Amino acid sequence: MEKYVIEGGHKLHGEIPVYGAKNEALKIIAASVLLEGKCTIKNIPEIEDINRLVEILEDLGAKVERNGHEITIDPQSINKTKPSDDLVHKLRSSVMLAGPLLAHYGKVTMAHPGGCVIGQRPIDMFLSGFKAMGAKVEENDHEYTLQAKKLHGAKIVMPWVMVTATESLMMTACLAEGTTTIINAAMEPEIPALADFLNSCGAKISGAGTPIITIEGVEKLSGGECTIIPDRIEAGTFAIMGLITGSEITVTGCEPKHLETVLETLRRANAKLEVGDNWIKTKPSKLKAVELRTHEYPGFPTDLQSPFTILMTQAEGMSLIHEAIYEGRLFYTDKLNAMGAKIIMCDPHRVIVSGPTPLIAKKLESPDLRAGMGLVLAGLVAEGKTVIDNIYQIERGYENPIARLQALGAKIEKIKE
C-alpha cells in the first residue's frame, strides 16, 4: 500500500502551479462521445479519475492519444455502448457518458456509478431528464439501460441545483430534436466552459452560467479543441495550505475570479492575501474563527469545506461550519479530533470548531478526495510525522501533489508499505 508521510511544523515558501480543472476535464472527455470528429483537449490534469474515464472510452472502442497535459480523442471507432462495470464503479463521472452515448448511439447500458462516500449521490435527475427527452429507461439495482431512436427537446426543472445533472442534460440535449430548457441550472464556471466547447463544435447552447440554459438541438457535432480552465478547488486548497502553515507562498496559473466567495471568507477570517490576475499570495496571518456555509456557485464550494474546516482548527474562536450540500461530508472531523482538534458535530450538516488547538501527528486513512487533501494540510501543521493511506483517493483529483508540495519545502514523501 502506498502512503504519504508528512513531517509537520515547517514553513513553506515559493510558488505552486495550479493545473486544469478536474471537474471540467471529465465532462469535456464525456462530451467527446457526441462528436463526429476528433477533439484535442489541452491543460488536462494527469489524475486517476481522468485515467479511469479514458479507460472506459477505450473499452468502448474510442481511440485516445495522451501526451502529458494534452489528450486527443477520436470517438468515431466506438463500437459498443455498455462500458465494463468495474471501470464504471470506480468513479461517479462515469455517469456523464450515459447521456452522450444515448444521444449519439441510441442505446446505453451502465452500472450505477461509484464515487466519493460523501452522500447518497443518486442519478434520478439524470434518468428523469433523459425520460423527459423521450428515452425509454429500464433500471434494476445493478444497472440501467436507456434507449431512444431520436431524443426530443424538453423543459427540465431541477428541484435543486445539481452540477453533473445540469452538465449531462445540457450536453445530451445538443443532439435532441427541438429546444430543451433547463431551469434552476447549476452555474459553476466549468459549465459555461463546457458549453463554449460544445458551441465551438456546432452546438447551440445559450445561458450556460445562469440559472436558465437553452439548447437548440442540431443534427450533428464536429470535432474541436479546448483548453481546460484552471482548477479553482486546487487554487483554494493551496491558498489555505499557505495560510494554515503561516507561510508566504504564491499560487500561480489560477483564476481568482472563480474564487471570490472563498477569498472573501478567508479575508473575513483575517487572512492576509494579495491577489493578481492569475495568482494568489498568502502571508502569515493571525486567523480568527468565522461561520461558513457551503453553497452552489458562486457560493463557497463544498469541495473546499474540509480544507477550510481544518484551517479553522488553527483560528482564534469558535466557528460554525454548515455543509449544506452533502449529508456525509463532515465525518472526517473525527480524525481531526484524534489529532487534537476540538470539533463538535451538531448534526450531519453542522460542526462547531474551537481553536486554535495544536494538532498531533496520527496514522490516518483518506476518506475521500477532498477530505484526504484536507488531512494532508492537517499533517503539515501537526507535530510529528502524519501517515495517510488510501492515497488513491487523493490522487484521483490532484496531479503529483508530492512534487508540488516538496517544491514549496514541505516535508512530505510517498512510501510503499
- The residues annotated with a catalytic role in the active site are 116
Question: Which residues share a beta bridge with 225?
Answer: 40
Q: Contact at 8 Å (CB) between 259 and 235?
A: yes
Q: Contact at 8 Å (CB) between 24 and 3?
A: no
* Backbone torsions φ then ψ of 256, nearest 5 degrees: -55, -25
331 binds ligand EPZ (CB under 6 A): no
What are the grid coordinates assigned to 130, written together?
433523459
Q: Of residues 3, 322, 362, 370, which one binds ligand EPZ by CB under 6 A?
A: 370
Q: Of residues 35, 111, 125, 312, which one binds ligand EPZ by CB under 6 A?
A: 125
Could you give the string, one character per residue 85-104, with x where binding to ligand EPZ holds by CB under 6 A and - elsewhere? -------xx-----------
Q: Of residues 121, 131, 283, 295, which one binds ligand EPZ by CB under 6 A?
A: 121
Nearer to ligand EPZ, 51 or 270 (CB): 51
Give the full edge-to-edge strand order of the sheet including 13-17: 13-17, 248-252, 279-283, 272-275
Restricting to residues 303-322, name those near ligand EPZ by CB under 6 A. Answer: 303
Nearer to ligand EPZ, 189 or 224 (CB): 189
29 binds ligand EPZ (CB under 6 A): no
Nearer to ligand EPZ, 93 or 261 (CB): 93
Q: Of residues 29, 78, 146, 162, which one binds ligand EPZ by CB under 6 A?
A: 162
Q: Which H helix or E strand runs over 243?
A: helix 232-244
Q: Of 203, 215, 165, give the one whose Cα is nearest residue 185.
A: 165
Nearer to ligand EPZ, 281 or 293 (CB): 293
349 binds ligand EPZ (CB under 6 A): no
Q: Of residues 3, 4, 18, 23, which one binds ligand EPZ by CB under 6 A?
A: 23
Rounded Cα distance between 404 and 259, Å, is: 21
Give the amino acid at 242. G
325 binds ligand EPZ (CB under 6 A): yes
Q: Which H helix or E strand runs over 347?
A: strand 342-347
Nearer to ligand EPZ, 125 or 215 (CB): 125
Q: Contact at 8 Å (CB) between 403 and 2?
A: no
* Backbone torsions φ then ψ of 182, nearest 5 degrees: -110, 120
122 binds ligand EPZ (CB under 6 A): yes
371 binds ligand EPZ (CB under 6 A): no
Rounded Cα distance between 401 and 408, Å, is: 11
Contact set with ligand EPZ (CB under 6 A): 22-23, 26, 92-93, 116, 119-126, 162-165, 302-303, 325-326, 369-370, 397
